[in-house]
Every structure is written in C-alpha cells, then in structure tokens.
Amino acid sequence: MDVVTPHITSVLKTYQASAPRSLQGPGCGRTEPCGDAPPPPPPPAAPPILLAPDTVLGERGETLLEGEPISCFSVGGERRLCLPQILTSVLTDFTLEQINRVCDELQIYCSRCTPEQLHELKSTGVLPKSAPSCGLITQTDAERLCAALLHAPAASRPHKLPGFRVYHECFGGARGVCAVDLNLVQCLECRSLYTPRRFVCHSHESEHRTCHWGFDSSRWRRFLLVAEEELDKEKCNALLDELAARDTPATVPPVAIKQQLPLKRKQIIKLWVHRPWGVPLSRQLLRGRRPEGGLRQNLLLLLKFT
C-alpha cells in the first residue's frame, strides 16, 4: 500500500482550500449544500409576427386615380379605394373578362368594407342606399391594375432616346433611359415610352408572395433611381429633382367628413373584417366570397348598385 507523505498531504489541503475560489478544481465538485442561486431572468418577449387588426373606421377622403376622383378610406397608412367607382369611371373600356384575367395574373385581392364604412359611403352619396356591400382595393393594387390595363407596352418599337440610365424596383422593377427634356423614360426591354410616373408602374418581371403596401405613383421621384454605371450621378439626380419639381401632381380638394350617425349596439363591430387570405379579387368583389353566378354576375350586380 502506498504511503502518503506529509508533504503531499499538505499540498492537497492547500489545493482544496484555494480551489473554491478558482475556476476549476476539486472544490467545484463539493457536495455540501450552498446558497440558492438566483433564478435566471425571464427571456425577453418575442415581438408578434402579425400586428393586431386595426379596429378604426379610417378617415374618408378622395384620391386621384388616372385623373378621376375616387372615394377612399385611409387605414394603417394605406388608402383603400372604392372599387365600384374605379370600374365605372376608370376602367370603362375593358370587359369583365379582361379585368378578371389581369387580377388573377397580378394576384390582386380586395376586401369587403365594414358596415361602418358602407354607412359612410351611403350617407355621403358615393353609393346608393340599396347597395348591399362594397369592395375596397388598396391604392397600390389599383395602380398596378390600371398600369396593366391602361398602359400596356406598345407594339411599335421607337428609336432609342438620348439620356441617362435609370431604374426602379417596384413590382419586379425595370430599367430605362430618361430624357429629361421630353419628360419621358424609355424601357430598355420593350422600348416603350412612359412618363416617369407611369414608368415606376411598368415592369416585365412577375413577383410571387410579395405584399405591396404604400405605393403612390405621384411620388415617383422616390422610386426612380439613377443607374450605378452613370458617371455623373449627382448631375443626373439633380435633373430628376428638377423634373419632379415641375411635375407637381394635381391634388383633390379636401372632402368635408360628415359626422356618422350613431349605430345601434347590435350593429357595432368590434373587430376589423379582414379579407380571406388567398382569395383573389375576382372571388370577393362584392361580398367577400364568390357567388354561385360566377364573376360576371358578381360584377354586373356590383355595377347595378353603383
């Protein structure tokens, strides 16, 4: 049996006494109870993936779409336009099949107005008293729809314009050449000519699973950018700023908001009525669902009450 010398015993006692104050050593495995350690702090609360529904009615006003005044509600920073007015004042030259096809291609959705919004539209004369409901479309989607129907690329291919290269990243993006003197931008892909306001709505790329929010073509200067390959970007930006200053959009006079009549307790809606996710515009134009008569009958019924 090995004999432990007094020197080794002294070294072990010294090591055991100093080990609890060190990072590691025999003392870290002590079995004697120690004071209760403080509980770990609770983890920070994770932010919600989706915000709570907006329960406000939204301020009613008017906005211009293709030069036509359209009633709208401003909710959450996005204007929601009255769909019947768009169909009867802006898209009058297109058949229901054309509108339906473009809506399906662009995956445009619409929501049904709330009872309070419907009451506001009726009380201000926008909709007749007999209208059962009304579809609302965001201004972003309304501009996308009008750009696809009213400003499709021309069949002719004009000569290239002199100017500097620009691009935008809206709805898939596009690249072009801006001729400031002519107030035109020519698309490099199809060579069609557009004003800067129309060009930021023009695109040859399709986007999927993209939520478009807050777009306003009248603020085209925010979206139209000078290409990186341009040598004198400061001069080009100054020319675009000058062009934007001359192209001041027309404004709609403010609309007097009429005081809403008080609703009965049973008519008060506590939660915002959201559109069904994944249901296209053609399936919920009027009542938020597709009627048995199909889209054509749905649109005809919608126009009947306008």
Query: Which pair of structure tokens corresponds to residue 281?
Result: 């515009």
**Cα–Cα distance for residue pair 259/211, rounded to 1 Å:** 33
Q: Which residue has the tokens 């007094």?
A: 6
Looking at mean pLDDT, say which of 182-186, 203-207, 208-212, 276-280 comes out highest. 182-186
pLDDT beyond 90 at 12:
no
In a shared domain, residues 272 and 295 = yes
In a shared domain, residues 204 and 228 = yes
In a shared domain, residues 128 and 262 = yes
pLDDT range class, residue 239, cuts 50, 70, 90: very high
The domain boundary, picked from 246, 275, 296, lies at 246
CATH number of the CATH domain containing 202? 3.10.390.10
Number of folded domains that form the chain: 2
CATH number of the CATH domain containing 285? 3.10.260.20
User: Within a domain: residue 173?
Assistant: yes
In a shared domain, residues 140 and 170 = no
On average, the pLDDT of the chain sits at 73
User: What SS3 class is residue 125?
Assistant: coil
**Least confidently predicted of 24-38, 63-77, 91-105:** 24-38
User: Within a domain: residue 286?
Assistant: yes
User: Within a domain: residue 16?
Assistant: no
pLDDT beyond 90 at 277:
no
In a shared domain, residues 146 and 64 = yes
Across the beta sheet with 111-112, the strand order is: 59-65, 68-75, 78-82, 135-138, 111-112
What type of residue is 254?
A: P
The domain boundary, picked from 246, 263, 282, lies at 246
**Cα–Cα distance for residue pair 289/110, rounded to 1 Å:** 11
User: Within a domain: residue 15?
Assistant: no
User: Within a domain: residue 69?
Assistant: yes
- pLDDT score at 85: 92
User: What SS3 class is residue 176?
Assistant: strand
Q: What is the distance of C-alpha 249 from the center of its chain?
A: 22
57 against 86, higher pLDDT: 86
The H or E element spanning position 296 is: helix 294-304
Q: pTM score > 0.75 for this model? A: no
User: How do residues 131-178 score in pLDDT, each as one tens digit?
Assistant: 888 999 999 999 999 988 988 776 566 678 889 999 998 888 899 999
12 against 231, higher pLDDT: 231
